[in-house]
Each structure stands twice: as structure tokens, then as C-alpha cells.
Amino acid sequence: MTELRSRRLMLVHAHPDDESINNGATMARYAAEGAQVTLVTCTLGERGEVIPPELRHLSGAALGGHRLGELREAMRALGVTDFRLLGGAGRYCDSGMMGLPDNDDPGCFWQADVDQAAGLLADVILEVRPQVLVTYDENGGYGHPDHIQTHRVAMRAVELAAGAGWDVPKVYWNRVPRSVVEESFARLHDDLAGLPFDKAGAVDDVPGVVADEQVTTGIDGTAYGSAKAAAMRAHATQITVEEPYFVLSNELAQPLFTTEYYELVRGERAVSRESDLFAGVGEAP
């Protein structure tokens, strides 16, 4: 059983690399401050597109195993020691992009029974007893089936855990304020000529972009930007980093955010924007 610390943060993600892109600075900051940081990853990303030519021979289970190794390296960079695969390695496989035949694979996460998968996650919640849980919105940030399913499973697991003895006080969804993204892309366009990337992405390429007023919380992880970048580099099959920018397999450059943003969807909202995910949470285990 995980040692119960006074502050406990759980993050639920679809594939290895999602945690570092979305929450790497947040995870590194809270881990450095002594909080218990627990990551639950739902699949190994066996159907991800591989960037480096020398690794493109990897697919299926071989790619999943390689990406698990990348996840271990990323967690080392962030200082996180408690990371788990939902139901164990290989329980649920990557579903591929929306609309592909891969979505029909009976072993993929998109086809998983939500209550069954949520029960597995609820067991982890009951063990760790997090005061804060972070996951995606109902569209999974950008519409990937595994991200949507992760949202469904995480939110249902919170309900199941509440009925079994641990009511998670605060649940957040990953967000990015539109003004921040627009300003960052304006800088990217100015910097693009000096980068090893040919094209810039667009605001809509960033998952979870919403109107500024919808964002309830901003976590300043500037001091942990190098840790986030290192964690992202560890996911070499999926990400190429050139700080403060990166590309995925689409080869479209986008900003690497060291301040990370959230929307509180369960718990009492503060009048002004929070700067701490644990704001208003008592520290007694």
C-alpha cells in the first residue's frame, strides 16, 4: 500500500507521453514539494505513430513495451515513483485514432466496459486516497477514443470510490486558456526560422483550449520546465523537443507550456484563479 502523505495527487491518462505533455511541470513541482504523485496510464500506446526512423520497426506489443520503458524514464525525470498501468500491463490496448478499424478491436480501451475499468481505477483511488484527481474533459481534449474513454472511466471511478469510502475532494480537467495559446503561437511564428521544424501548428492543435474565464487554476511550473522537457524527450518515439517548442508525428511545431492550466469540475470554486491544486484541501490523511 502506498504511504499516505498529507497531499496526494492522482493523474489519469490514456497513453505514455500524455502525462508529460499535459502535466509534466505540475507533476515535477508537486513531487519536489513532497506530495504523493500517482499516475495511472490506461494503455501502452501500441498504435502510436513512431517518429525516429530507426524505431519505426516497432509496432503492437513491441512498441507498447518500448513505450513503457520511455514512461519509466519520463517518471525518473519528473521525480515520480508511483506510476501504474490500469489493470496491469496489456489489460487494455491502444484504440487508434477515431474512425479507424482499430476502434473495433475487442481488446482495445475504447471497447472496454466502463464500469469494469472504473472499478479497477476505483481500487487505486481507495488505496491512494487522493485529494486531487486530474484527467480530460468529455471530449478527451481532442477527440481521441482512448482520451474520451479515460474521461468516462476516471469520472465513473470517482463516483464508485465515493460510494466505497473515499470521496475525492477536487477533480480537474486539463485546460489551456485561449489567450495563452494565441500569444505562444505568435512567438512561435517569430521563432520558426531558427528552429529545426518546418511548419507551425495552429491554436486548434492544442488539446483543451477554452475561453480564459473557464480556467480556474494555473500551476506555475517554470522552475520545473527543464524536468518537463526531459520527460517529453524520454518519449522519443512520440515527441521531438526543441525548447520551448516541440513536435509530434504530424511535424507541426507547438509551444511547450511550463505553466499548466486546469478547470475545477468537482469541489468548491474559488472567487479568483487558483495557483495550487490543493487550495482549500485539509492536509490530514
Cell 484527467: give the residue. 135
| Rounded distance between C-alpha atoms, residue 23 and residue 12, angstroms | 11
Cα 31 → chain centroid: 15
Sign for the CA dihedral angle at 180, 186, 189, 191 comes to negative
Do 42 and 153 meet the contact criterion of CB atoms below 8 Å apart? yes
Q: Enter the C-alpha cell of residue 2.
A: 502506498
Does 189 carry a binding-site annotation?
no
Collapsed DSSP state (helix, strand, coil) of residue 245? strand
Task: Could you list the beta-strand ranges (E) of 120-244.
Answer: 132-135, 170-177, 199-200, 209-210, 217-220, 240-242
DSSP state of 274: B
Q: Enter the C-alpha cell of residue 160.
A: 464508485
Does 18 carry a binding-site annotation?
yes
Do 36 and 83 meet the contact criterion of CB atoms below 8 Å apart? no
Please list the residues that pair with 261 across neighbouring strands. Answer: 175, 218
| Rounded distance between C-alpha atoms, residue 16 and residue 268, angstroms | 31
Does 147 carry a binding-site annotation?
yes
Contacts (Cβ under 8 Å, ≥6 apart) of 100: none
- 97's enclosing H/E stretch is none
The dihedral over CA atoms of 110, 112, 114, 119, expressed in degrees to the nearest 10, equals -130
Binding residue positions for Zn(2+): 15, 18, 147
Binding residue positions: 15, 18, 147
